[in-house]
Chain A
Amino acid sequence: MTSLALKKVTKSFGAVDVIRGVDLDIAAGEFVVFVGPSGCGKSTLLRMIAGLEPITSGDLAVGGARMNEVAAARRGVAMVFQSYALYPHMNVYKNMSFGLETAKMPKPEIDTRVRKAADILQITHLLDRKPKQLSGGQRQRVAIGRAIVRDPKIFLFDEPLSNLDAELRVQTRVEIAKLHADIGATMIYVTHDQVEAMTLADRIVVLRAGVIEQHGSPLDIYNKPVNRFVAGFIGSPKMNFLSVAVAASQDDSVVLNLAGKQLTLPQPVPVGQGAPLTLGVRPEHIVAEGAGGVSPDGVSLGTFTVMHVERLGGQTIAYGNLDDRQTLTVALDGQRSIAAGDKLSVSIPAERCHLFGEDERRIGG
């Protein structure tokens, strides 16, 4: 197990700054997930750690040793590619042993390692097959096996599940988590799928435009997003953002105007009367009266007119408007008998409300 440190790391392609000063310490054995929208630089950052992209400035240290100029193969990292990047002309065994043969490891040891990895991944029966004879899921396992045999200090995964179908994706996700638990190696995983991030990570690193917006445990990020971007990116369905204005600001509370009504939140805000704020409410935290839900005991958001309903079996998701035409998504547990056109009174527990200022930053703890 090895730690990894990034210090003021930047990457520029010509005049374009892709990574803009990333500082991050990853503990030995930690499972860290880089998450962010397309083009946020998460894959580039991973490739810089792997040694596939030169670092423009800053320092990369693995196990305390500076690695900026060290060749990819000597960094002690192994990478699983999005495309798997299996050698199509080699069988599974050769794909897994190629790196070891390159390192001139004795044949018996190569054999032991390949068979052990194949056993862990349950692909022993596929060792003689060529990649084209494998399914997507099997290819994925071989790609992971190729990383395992090298016994790397750090595993890097670049969106490894994005080419798999939904069912296989869940299954492989569980297996990767199990693999991490079994071998305990440091793992860095890139994805744009926030469910993968939430389920796999010890720590999530949310990136936007080459900058770390927030890093922390999945629940930390879910419960206390530092800004509107992170709040919107983590969580599914996405957090609702409602425009509100400060009606009265007191020492320990604030009264907000929303859709012609007033609601009071027990938290002070550093802005005066009339200041526009954004109220963030997660769809799953909203309680709807008249939909068979519990009677609202939180702050009222007013009347919600249902426009469209999605029934997922375990959850009912309603899309619609508040009285002032602001859109709202409500996710209700179980199967609810609501339909388009219904009017529900909706509320939310005060502690579940998130407030964001004009600069999009979170207000309060």
Chain B
Amino acid sequence: MLDSRILSRVLHRALARGADFAEIYGEERNTGSLFYEDGRLEKVNQGLEKGAGIRVVKNGNTAYVYTNDISEEGLLRGIDTAYHAAAKARDLDEELALRIKEAPFVFSPVRRPEEVEWEEKIRWAKEADRAARSLGEEIRQVTVGIAEVEKKVVIANTEGELVEKEEVRTRAVVNVVACKDGIMQTGYETAGGAAGWEILGEDGLNGLAVKAGDLALRLLEAKPAPAGRMPVVMAAEAGGTMVHEACGHGLEADLVGKGLSVYKDKKGKQVASELVTVIDDATLDKKYGSYVFDDEGVPGQRTILIAKGELKGYMYDRLTAARDGVLSTGNGRRESYQHKPVPRMSNTFIAPGNDRIEEIIRSTPYGLLVKKMGGGQVNTTNGDFVFEVKEGYLIRDGEVAELVRGATISGNGPEALLNVDRVGNDLGFAIGVCGKEGQGVPVADAQPTIRIKELTVGGIVEEETPAIKRIRRR
């Protein structure tokens, strides 16, 4: 896509103009999406994007330029704009030699989006619609969304590094609405991965549709959740929404640096129960948040954030790492060539423990079992969170009892992690698009079945304030 000699000449110009650091991020992206609603194909959108983002850093200040003109002329013009009049030119004789960085590992997508006909994808949507509606006449609406992207990226910088990477991602969502006697309930299921359409099996989206429809129907009959403080068991299949939102964001180095995190100055301190180990791992095969290199050309890594309850470190991009005098942890990510990179999570999870799941339930006389999380919000400055419980069951006398609806759980992230007293030997993932500074990036999060000694069930979601992040999981 971009010739390395051109990249070298353009970066050379940046250095000659006095940059401390400069980088070119070139991207070529094929995207496709489908939206199916009301039993008809609403929309299919396919796009082809080519563009480059140029970043110049000088004295900690950043200039960012992006363009669809990825010719040498276009890129040089970008550097000149990024490096505005304040710069002093200097003489630089030697050329900038770019060395290609070898990928530390590879992902191999099987059914590439481009190779799977839209006919098949439309059929998945139609069949999912039919599968959900066949569950009962109470099913009133079924929507199906499918999204896919294949992109090629080239990153070169004034450190002389040259990285080429390719990413394939696929994602599908089925949402089902059921109504009866004036009551409306919804269920939804998602699937996604840094992989091709092999993430779906033979039955396409039918499994997801039936699961979502079944939950919506059962919720129609469910009783309202009780309110009060009680033990909460979060099943592995609920995914790691809580660890991502209530803990992960607070461990991103830029938020820590700005004083917007409860984990500031807590390195080496006990911040969670000693049963809790939290890891961010970009190297997991086929997971939605995985990548071989981040968007600054640093290899994806496995970073231990909290080990047995002790805070070990934060997630860094190049800029924040340089500020703290450490190495980037490979968490510099961006939505596209139109954005500058910032520290972001990849796949974030609580590591599995030793407890058997049945045993965790059996040892809980009373409490709430959370099998599926809905949306919620977190105040990153103090860690307070509120989440909707999409699928929750009461636990009575060590056994799973009836399904309840309308539950919310609220608490404080760091406090909840200190109160974890059981950690199961399983692990379940959820996927999402995480938003920060107006950029969305694909992430996954996970946890084993865990028990939190006490959380408030039935709290009310409070008025939005600027420090609060709203979370959508669709």
**Physical interaction between A and B:** no
Report B's interface with A, CB cutoff 8 A: none
- Residues of A bordering B, CB below 8 Å: none
